[in-house]
Amino acid sequence: MIGNQAGIVKVLGPNREGVAYARGIDDQSLARINHEDCHCVFSALGVHTAKIMPLAQYIMINYSSLPHKEAVAILSVAACSPALDASTREKAEQFLVQVMETDKDVHARRQAILALAVQPQVTLATTDRVIRIYEHSENLWETFPVQQYFQYHAAQLRRQQNFGELRQRVAGVNSLYTPAILNYLDHP
């Protein structure tokens, strides 16, 4: 289950009774996902490590027939797991970008931004596309996770040659989130 507002992952117990595991990804103090967190989520789901990569591939192939925000949340955790090889992790990142840009469900799009925020690393192409969403979306609820994206990836982005251009684009966005994002970008 995924909560609409808080981006909470809840793994329910057998027959949907009780909560086997709960994980917030929208709270900045809890959002980062480490290997232990991945293990806890997949253990609660009963998914063995060897099944994580096939599960991620299944989600990307069958996304249209799955509950979108839940599929994005599980793919996010899988992409943070050491069980994925580099190629599948790259495909997952590209897939999450596609969901962020094209899904008709705002909950899934928001969940995709959160998913990209918690990834250990992202490509410059992904950052460009996150900025494009930020530049063009007027939905503050949808773009709220963009703050986390820049908070978590600021150190990586500061090392890029085009950091000045990237920062300038962010600074040009008329949003109440822009000052916080610039603070993350400017202060290590």
Return the SS3 of 123: coil
As to burial, measured by CB atoms within 10 angstroms (0-12 exposed, 13-18 middle, 19+ buried), residue 23 is buried
* Same-domain pairing of 61 and 129: no
Residue 21's DSSP bridge partners are 11
- 92-122 pLDDT, tens digit per residue, is 999 999 999 999 999 899 999 989 998 999 9
- 22-79 pLDDT, tens digit per residue, is 766 555 666 677 788 888 888 888 899 999 999 999 999 999 999 998 899 899 989 9
Compute the half-sphere exposure of residue 121: CA atoms within 13 Å on the CB side of its CA: 9
pTM assigned to the model: 0.89
**Would you say residue 81 lies in a domain?**
yes
- Give me the domain span that covers residue 182: 121-188
Q: How many domains does the chain have?
A: 2
* Same-domain pairing of 85 and 175: no
* Same-domain pairing of 98 and 187: no
**Would you say residue 65 lies in a domain?**
yes
